[in-house]
Amino acid sequence: MRLRDFPEEELFLQGSAACQGCPGSAALRVAFKALGRETILCVIASCTSVLQSPFPVSALNLPTLNMAFATGGATASGLTAAADRLVARGTFKEKPTILVWAGDGGTYDIGIQALSGAAERNTDFIYVCYNNEAYSNTGTQRSGATPYAAWTSNTTRGKDEWRKDVAQIMVAHGVPYVATASLAYPTDMYRKFAKAKEIKGTRYIEIQAPCPPGWKFPSAHTIKVARMAVQSGMWMLYEHEGGKTTYTAGTQRIIQGQSKLLPVEEYLRAQGRFRHLFSPEKDEERIGEIQGRINHIFETLQFTHKMKEHIMDIELAPPR
Amino acid sequence: MKLVDTGNHFAAWGARLARVEVVSAYPITPQTQVIEEISRFIDEGEMDCEYIPVESEHSAMAAMIGSAAMGVRSFSATSSHGLAYMHELLHWAAGIRLPMVMVNVNRAMGPGWNIWCDHQDALAARDTGWIQLYCASHQEVLDTVIQAYRISEDFKVILPVMVCYDAIFISHSYMQVEVPDQENVDRFLPPFRSLWKLDLDYPLTHGSVIYPDDYEEVRFSMFQGLDNARGAIRRAAEEYRDIIGNYHGDMVETYRIDDADCALVAMGSMASECKMAVDMLRDKGYRCGLVRVRSYRPFPIAELRELLSPMRAVMVLDRGVSFGLEGALFSEVKAAIYGHGDAIVYNLITGLGGRDVRYDLVAERTEAALEGKMAPESNWPSLRLTEHHRVSKRGLEEYWKREGVL
């Protein structure tokens, strides 16, 4: 699939209330193209509640239910149970795709209980977390997805803690499909959505969403920053199904040795939220900690890759 | 068909006869029997329904909103802390204008942990935009769940309905009930209808951001919906009587009120106890009657004005308290009849946390009020200091002494 092969029909319409360079609207556009018209959308309190435009207009050309912050997984359970009834009654010929669209606050923090419950029940829906690594909608406060050392409006000297990893938490739930995606790799993202559409049960897709006002970079650099995140190893692209993780696109190329890791310093320098790591003087310690973690992860993955290629086919044990 | 069973099981029967298609609920004492019975109905093929065993009440209500928004008749059951936990979504369900029915087994709020009856849980959810109906018998629970769908799905209403009944007294006691025929219920209750649903052919956005320029109109439409519910509640009660036969009053139920010059006002099972208090007072020569508030929201303003304005005295019983004020029903009865007649209004706050409300106590305190021996304000007639309180106080006093608080 090439970009020019994407369907022409736009289900995310022009004239939305999104900020310039918004990663959320770009992600919605690709996701909607991959999933098509037969989709029921539930938007969880997030930037997407706002960027769809206020009453009485909407940029979302799908039947849409806006819902409260902590409800993503649970609302999907109701939507999908009702859709099953409508299929049984013959109102629907085929069951539509149930899509929940939530931010990292609604996923990592306040909504994790409902998401975990829905995943445990293997609720038949696609859950998307577009992760801009902070509460961007309310003025960029820290979330459970905010990376170590990043400025937010309530971690003004940089966050002290490391982010948690909900995609891996979903892997641990044993759901049929988990994938991560990046705006800089739209064909990879499209393919993952198209694949998820054909799978039954809980599917989780997390998209890293560099936010120009929140991360403090020029609005023309959204895709560039997204690409640097993958190239530096700060964001990893993979999909997990049947107990097996497959790394994709830019991440796969690094693991297979086709491209080198970009020094994380370059990724950090591209964003104002890490400015305090470079001025008034360079914070070698914290930059070193971040680079050290990335190196450790990629050295392990590269080693495993070589082992598989040259010695034996080993896999980590499936989660259950 | 006559059946002897618990109030909880009759609530489940109500959902079954209403042909509910999605049930989402989380277990909480004393509601658990409702969802156990529904899951049994489903497992045994007696009810064609999806049951979602959610992981919290917040999620129970979110799932209800999802299924009702898809255009499917939905049901839930909760109680006390569960109702409090889903409070945010009570606002959402009403605000987005979805028809649905939930039973709430009225249970006290903790701490201290207490699984017994009072009305504090539902009173705290008073201003969410839900219709609230209070039942006084097992038969009324079953009948009201069915009626509630008619009310909720009325095109002039389209708001969720909460059917409230008392923990333990109704939820867990066994009584004989006439279970109506499915055929007759189907004549009374047409298939699910709503004013909107998520529709692939009409991809509209629901529940989006509304600026101050447009918000008040949305809230006013809810206000009108609740107002229209008065008529819908009356019609549902009357048509139910005509088709199925049972009648429990509409907005209110009255007892020996026609020639009365003083009235008791109460809600829930306590109102049945008040009927005996009325009889007792009548035996003593007091011309007393009862008004049971069946619909708390919408509040029966017109009915109370008409019934209570000729009275010389009104005794309001509250099974809950608006802290810092008085009994909530007491306030609202006074507000409803303000400027209509000369009744002096008294208040008993009693029966909290499942304490037994005895008809002789109600009669005795009402007699005291009528004899001018009570102030027209909140009275707590059943308060007492037991050995438990003394033990607890002695323990605290030792702590206070050690900490130098005293």
DSSP result, B320-350: S-BTTTB-HHHHHHHHHHTTSS--EEEEEE-
The reply to whether residue B58 touches residue A74, judged by beta carbons under 8 angstroms, is yes
Give the span between the Cα atoms of B359 and B290, in whole angstroms: 13
Give the span between the Cα atoms of A46 and A139, in whole angstroms: 11
Structure tokens at B149: 């769908």
Give the span between the Cα atoms of A92 and A108, in whole angstroms: 33
Q: Which CATH number fits domain A3-310: 3.40.50.970, 3.40.50.450, 3.40.50.300, 3.60.15.10?
A: 3.40.50.970
Q: Mean per-residue pLDDT for B233-256? A: 98
Within 13 A of A183's CA, how many CA atoms are on the CB side? 24
Q: Over the stretch A214-223, which tens digit does the pLDDT of each residue have? A: 999 999 999 9
The reply to whether residue B53 touches residue A121, judged by beta carbons under 8 angstroms, is yes
Residue A320: its pLDDT value, please?
A: 43
Kindly state whether residues B127 and B173 are assigned to the same domain. Answer: yes
| Alpha-carbon separation of residue B235 from B190, B239, B247 (angstroms) | 14, 6, 12
Kindly state whether residues B150 and B169 are assigned to the same domain. Answer: yes
Kindly state whether residues B184 and B264 are assigned to the same domain. Answer: no
Contacts of B60 in chain A (CB under 8 A): 74
Closest approach of A12 to chain B, Cα-based (Å):
12
Kindly state whether residues B103 and B224 are assigned to the same domain. Answer: yes
Q: Is A10 on the interface with B (CB under 8 A)?
A: no
Q: Over the stretch A270-297, which tens digit does the pLDDT of each residue have? A: 999 999 999 999 999 999 999 999 999 9
Residues near A150 by beta carbon (within 8 Å), at least 6 away in sequence: A133, A134, A142, A158, A159, A273, A274
Nearest Cβ partner for A68 among B54, B92, B200: B92
Structure tokens at B171: 């939820």
Residue A312: its pLDDT value, please?
A: 57
The reply to whether residue B22 touches residue A73, judged by beta carbons under 8 angstroms, is no
Kindly state whether residues B228 and B265 are assigned to the same domain. Answer: no
Residue B105: closest CA among B129, B73, B138: B138
The reply to whether residue A58 touches residue B202, judged by beta carbons under 8 angstroms, is no
φ, ψ for residue A40 (rounded to 5)?
Answer: -105, 125
The reply to whether residue B50 touches residue A75, judged by beta carbons under 8 angstroms, is no
| Peptide bond just before A72 cis, omega within 30 deg | no
| Alpha-carbon separation of residue A208 from A129, A167, B56 (angstroms) | 8, 11, 29
Residue B312 lies in a domain: yes
Closest approach of B50 to chain A, Cα-based (Å):
6
At A319, the pLDDT band (50, 70, 90 cuts) reads: very low
Q: Mean per-residue pLDDT for B271-295? A: 97
Q: Is pLDDT of B406 > 90?
A: no
Q: Over the stretch B82-133, which tens digit does the pLDDT of each residue have? A: 999 999 999 999 999 999 999 999 999 999 999 999 999 999 999 999 999 9
Kindly state whether residues B211 and B302 are assigned to the same domain. Answer: no
Last residue of a domain, one of B217, B243, B269: B243
At A314, the pLDDT band (50, 70, 90 cuts) reads: low
Query: Burial, A4: exposed, middle or buried (Cβ in 10 Å; 0-12, 13-18, 19+)?
Result: exposed
Residue B164: closest CA among B102, B81, B99: B102
Residue A36: its pLDDT value, please?
A: 98
How many residues in chain B?
406
The reply to whether residue A77 touches residue B24, judged by beta carbons under 8 angstroms, is yes
Chain B positions contacting chain A at CB under 8 Å are: 21-22, 24, 50, 52-56, 58-60, 62-72, 74, 88-89, 92, 96, 198-200, 202-211, 214
Give the span between the Cα atoms of B66 and B71, in whole angstroms: 9
Give the span between the Cα atoms of A103 and A108, in whole angstroms: 8
Residue B132: its pLDDT value, please?
A: 98
Q: Mean per-residue pLDDT for B285-308? A: 98
Q: Is A76 on the interface with B (CB under 8 A)?
A: yes
CATH number of the domain where residue B281 is located: 3.40.50.920
Closest approach of B210 to chain A, Cα-based (Å):
5
> What pTM did the predictor assign?
0.96
φ, ψ for residue B345 (rounded to 5)?
Answer: -110, 125
At A308, the pLDDT band (50, 70, 90 cuts) reads: confident
Residue B172: closest CA among B33, B271, B302: B33
If you measure CA to CA, which chain B residue comes closest to A17?
B209
Give the span between the Cα atoms of B206 and A56, in whole angstroms: 10
Kindly state whether residues B117 and B149 are assigned to the same domain. Answer: yes
Q: Is A38 on the interface with B (CB under 8 A)?
A: yes
At B12, the pLDDT band (50, 70, 90 cuts) reads: very high
Q: Is A2 on the interface with B (CB under 8 A)?
A: no
Kindly state whether residues B226 and B146 are assigned to the same domain. Answer: yes
**Across all residues in chain A, what is the average pLDDT?**
95
Nearest Cβ partner for A66 among B52, B202, B206: B206
Task: Please calculate the CA angle A139-A142-A146 and round it to the nearest 5 degrees.
Answer: 120
Contacts of A71 in chain B (CB under 8 A): 58-59, 62, 65, 89
The reply to whether residue B206 touches residue A55, judged by beta carbons under 8 angstroms, is no
Give the span between the Cα atoms of B71 and A99, in whole angstroms: 17
Contacts of B45 in chain A (CB under 8 A): none
Last residue of a domain, one of B243, B272, B304: B243
Nearest Cβ partner for B200 among A60, A96, A116: A96
Residue B157 lies in a domain: yes
Closest approach of A67 to chain B, Cα-based (Å):
7
**Contact present, B204 and A64 (Cβ < 8 Å):** yes
Within 13 A of A39's CA, how many CA atoms are on the CB side? 27
For residue B299, the SS3 value is: coil
If you measure CA to CA, which chain B residue comes closest to A36?
B200
Kindly state whether residues B195 and B270 are assigned to the same domain. Answer: no
The reply to whether residue B64 touches residue A78, judged by beta carbons under 8 angstroms, is yes
Q: Is A138 on the interface with B (CB under 8 A)?
A: no
Residues near B5 by beta carbon (within 8 Å), at least 6 away in sequence: B13, B138, B174, B175, B177
Last residue of a domain, one of B196, B222, B243: B243
The reply to whether residue B92 touches residue A67, judged by beta carbons under 8 angstroms, is yes
Give exposure, A126-160, as e/b (b: 16+ Cβ within 10 Å).
bbbbbbbbbbbbeebbbbbbbbebbbbeebeebbe
Closest approach of A196 to chain B, Cα-based (Å):
20
Q: Over the stretch A95-105, which tens digit does the pLDDT of each residue have? A: 999 999 999 99
Give the span between the Cα atoms of A267 and A262, in whole angstroms: 8
Q: What is the ipTM for the molecules in this complex?
A: 0.95
Expressed as residue numbers, the domain containing B193 is 2-243
Nearest Cβ partner for B72 among A58, A74, A86: A86
The reply to whether residue A85 touches residue B50, judged by beta carbons under 8 angstroms, is yes
Q: Is A83 on the interface with B (CB under 8 A)?
A: yes
Contacts of A62 in chain B (CB under 8 A): 203
Q: Which residues pair with B344 in a beta bridge?
A: B313
If you measure CA to CA, which chain B residue comes closest to A67?
B207
Contacts of A63 in chain B (CB under 8 A): 198-200, 202-204
Residue B400 lies in a domain: no
The reply to whether residue A68 touches residue B64, judged by beta carbons under 8 angstroms, is no
Give the span between the Cα atoms of B132 and B104, in whole angstroms: 10
CATH number of the domain where residue B133 is located: 3.40.50.970
Q: Over the stretch B139-185, which tens digit does the pLDDT of each residue have? A: 999 999 999 999 999 999 999 999 999 999 999 999 999 999 999 99
Q: Mean per-residue pLDDT for B229-257? A: 98
**Across all residues in chain B, what is the average pLDDT?**
97
Residue B385 lies in a domain: no
Position B344, amino acid: I
Residues near A221 by beta carbon (within 8 Å), at least 6 away in sequence: A21, A210, A212, A270
Q: Is pLDDT of A318 > 60?
A: no
Contacts of B25 in chain A (CB under 8 A): none
Kindly state whether residues B228 and B97 are assigned to the same domain. Answer: yes
Q: Is A288 on the interface with B (CB under 8 A)?
A: no
Contacts of B204 in chain A (CB under 8 A): 58, 63-64
Q: Mean per-residue pLDDT for A106-128? A: 98
**Contact present, B42 and B206 (Cβ < 8 Å):** no
Residue A306: its pLDDT value, please?
A: 86
Alpha helices by DSSP H, listed for B257-404, are 270-283, 301-308, 328-337, 359-370, 387-403
Structure tokens at A189: 């993202």
| Peptide bond just before A176 cis, omega within 30 deg | no
Number of structural domains (chain B) is: 2
Q: Over the stretch A147-204, which tens digit does the pLDDT of each residue have? A: 999 999 999 999 999 999 999 999 999 999 999 999 999 999 999 999 999 999 999 9
Kindly state whether residues B102 and B204 are assigned to the same domain. Answer: yes
Kindly state whether residues B224 and B199 are assigned to the same domain. Answer: yes
